[in-house]
A and B are shown apart, each in its own frame.
Chain A
Amino acid sequence: MLFDINNFTGLFPIVLSSLGLTSEIALLSLIGTFFLSLIIAIIRYYKIPILTQFFNVFITVFRATPLVVELFMIFFALPCIFPALKAMTPFQAVVLSLIFNTSSFMAESFRAALESVDRGQIEACYSLGMTKRQAMLRVILPQAFVVAVPSIGNHFIGIIKGTALGFTVGLADVMGTAKMEAALSLRFFEAYLCVTVVYLVIVLAVEFVLRLIERRLANLY
């Protein structure tokens, strides 16, 4: 039989039981990425010395290398040099590499969003006696955030798909579970089609929600 429908449908409960782990990785990475990108963007926006140079190197490295290489560096390679890192779990390694990799892209989007707020409004803040911090929190960030939302959404989708690399360090996420099932039954088509469907549905659902949010935000101010 070319396609075993019973095997295929039977895979879903097994694979979907790992959905929790995949979502956990994705959401933690998204939150981490959000804050790290924001910090990097603000540092680069104000051109804070030393930190700006540090993150310029950081961005160059993490943008120019494949996610899987970064993951292997963090999980397999660096602990050989720094024994303290041996305590790191595969879960932590995947989340960290997703945060570092995605932040190196998202920080640039955030910076562009910060810079999209015109100089005049910032001058208005200062002319009223507001501090740099108040101007950032009250005027720049609320507007930059709206500008950045479509790009945050795209990066989130990238993160969701990136979680599939978890299997390379032994995580039983959606991809890892399907791979194990395929190895047991030797029915590769069914297993990977199942993974394809699961990711497709998740990402389409996320895209749908993102579009609703974007439409709400477009008419916000």
Chain B
Amino acid sequence: MLKISKLTKSFNGLNVLKGVDLTLESGKVMAVIGPSGTGKSTLLRCINFLERPDSGIIEIDGVKIDASCAKSSEIYRLRRKTSMVFQNYNLFRNMTALENVMEPMVTVQKIDKASAREKALELLGKVGLAEKSDFYPRKMSGGQQQRVGIARAVASDAKVILFDEPTSSLDPELTGEVLEVIRRLANTNITMLIVTHEMKFAREIADTMIFLEGGLVAGQGSPSEIFEHSGNERIRKFVSMAMEG
């Protein structure tokens, strides 16, 4: 489903990604963990070309792009295969919750408005916000906005949903409702790649995990392999500290 090889990205001479390889099978959930500043978010943003990678191959659901010579038509095709849930929600502020969820269907997939509305209402119901469908983002809490953001990402019909620290800007008491929505989504055969600092959550929902450090994949495996049987000293230290905190 998702295959990345030798992905590199540097900002002003600083090498953030130094050749990342990963493979994610259809329907699986992968969590990306690691210390701050090791390129976790950059990795996600490179996968859909919000940041243009310097080099490497990205392949999603049959669309294959060589980053060093990607044309914009290829980038648009690749972006339609993914959608992103942002740390700061990034809902369209000029649209209601319902219109936000309808937007990718109406504008990108060209689905007629009536069917898009029906599907959007269904998705809002699934994230528990059916009664908020006519609210503008500024009238909603962070947790509610993020749940709309998730519904919008699902509405885009993407093959892979990328979560970029979806709970990092939420108050602790709002984190739970968002994690619950992601947890339910993880059980529906959607392919997901999640960058998160919520270690317990990551361990619980992920099928596989990668530990990113210094722009490279320092370890990967099932949650139990990463959390309990990692041969890597750094990973052991990181997860034990993270689980305590």
Contacts and interface: CB of A to CB of B under 8 A. Distances in A.
A127 B79 contact: yes
B76 A131 contact: yes
Contact of B92 (A124, A126, A129, A131): A124
Interface in B127-144: 136, 138
Interface in B70-109: 76, 79-80, 82-84, 86, 88, 90-94, 103-104, 107-108
A94 B112 CA distance: 47
B146 interface: no
Nearest to B81: A129
A128 B133 CA distance: 20
Nearest to B156: A128
A68 to B, nearest CB: 40
Interface stretch (A29-37, A135-143, A178-186, A194-202): A135-143
Classify chain B: how many residues form its interface, as a range. Answer: 20 to 34
B86 A221 contact: no
B28 interface: no
Contacts of B152: 124, 128
A128 B94 CA distance: 17
B91 A124 contact: yes
A128 B103 contact: yes
Interface in A87-141: 118, 120-121, 123-131, 134, 138-139
Nearest to A220: B94
Contacts of A124: 84, 86, 90-92, 152
The residue in A128, A146, A221 that gathers the most chain B C-beta atoms within 10 A of its C-beta is A128
A128 to B, nearest CB: 4
A65 to B, nearest CB: 37
A118 B138 CA distance: 14
A120 B156 CA distance: 17
A193 to B, nearest CB: 46
B111 to A, nearest CB: 13
A121 B93 contact: yes
B94 A123 contact: no
A127 B94 contact: no
A162 to B, nearest CB: 32
B50 interface: yes
B191 interface: no
A205 B93 CA distance: 32
Interface in B33-66: 48-50
Interface string A49-74: 00000000000000000000000000
Contacts of B50: 123, 126-127
B78 to A, nearest CB: 9
A57 B103 CA distance: 39
B139 to A, nearest CB: 10
Contacts of B153: 128
17 contacts: A120-B86, A123-B50, A123-B84, A124-B84, A124-B91, A124-B92, A127-B79, A128-B79, A129-B76, A129-B79, A129-B104, A129-B156, A130-B104, A130-B108, A138-B103, A146-B94, A221-B93
The 7 A-B pairs with the shortest beta carbon distances in the complex, nearest first, are A129-B80, A127-B84, A120-B90, A124-B90, A128-B104, A142-B94, A129-B108
Given A129-B79, A139-B94, 9 more contacts: A120-B86, A120-B90, A121-B91, A124-B84, A124-B90, A126-B48, A127-B162, A128-B83, A146-B94
